[in-house]
Amino acid sequence: MMRALVPWDGLAPAGIRADVYDDAADVSDVDCFVLPYPQATALPLIARMPRLRYLQTLYAGYDDLLPLLPAGATLCNGRGLHDASTAEHALGLILAAQRYLPTWVRNQDRHEWRQQYTASLADSTVVIVGYGSIGQALGRRLVACEATVVPVASRPREGVHGVAELPALLPTADIVVLVLPLTSATDRLFGADFLALLRDGALVINVGRGRVLDTEALLAAGGRIRAALDVTDPEPLPADHPLWNLPGVIITPHVAGGSATFYPRARRFVAEQLRRIVAGEPLHNVVLGPSIVSF
């Protein structure tokens, strides 16, 4: 019988011996590994799994797993699981920044009643860079808030601009949202040149990967550009890092995807993936390796 290491009880159908993740357990006979969330501390286990044939991450990004995957094994990602959570968080960051919520919270801490005119989301132009499933989920929410959405993907398609068009699009943006994976093409893609194209006071949101946005370039902008970041470079952000104190910056500690919505969806997804393995059916979200895993 094949053995799976999984994050939660009650997921596996008959035909799989499923054990809940334990980083101290003997994993030499594990065939399927569903990484826990968050997954960083579990990654060293992969090297101790000589029989591993199927690796499932609950993140959409998988760049850090490629060097660890054994030859011939199948890797599936968690595309779609974080759409609602991450889109909500990005929308929350936008609203917090536009309506100056950090200012009001700090004033409340000091028991100060200070009124101030704020920016708005309605009637703003929002450029979403990375128009996959998360970007599209955010786009629907922004339209409901009466914003104008300008979608951008790596290559143009009907109704979606290509990334090569960013130099023409950025000067029109009130808000730019980065929802990009980290690849050789996106590493520090949003640097000094792109930031210079933004109008004073424009807002940059990053809910993708920290290194997509050049931290040094953002610091050099000296507060001319506002930012709300769920991901940073470096990460975790050191306590003495100047980004903490940069004017106009909101920082959350890489928590966009981990809301209450995520976990039940992830459980259903993993249970279905394991059922498909037993049934010999094609798997969802295959990013590397065969789509049907046989044991």
| Catalytic residue set | 209, 235, 254
Cα–Cα distance, 71 to 74 (Å, whole number): 9
What does R_g of the chain's alpha carbons equal in angstroms? 21
CB 152 within 8 A of CB 127: yes
Residue among 245, 217, 249, 251 nearest 231 (CA): 251
Phi first, then psi, for residue 41 (nearest 5°) are: -70, -15
What are the structure tokens assigned to 187, written together?
A: 């590493």
**Residue 137: C-alpha distances to residues 81, 90, 243 (Å):** 12, 10, 28
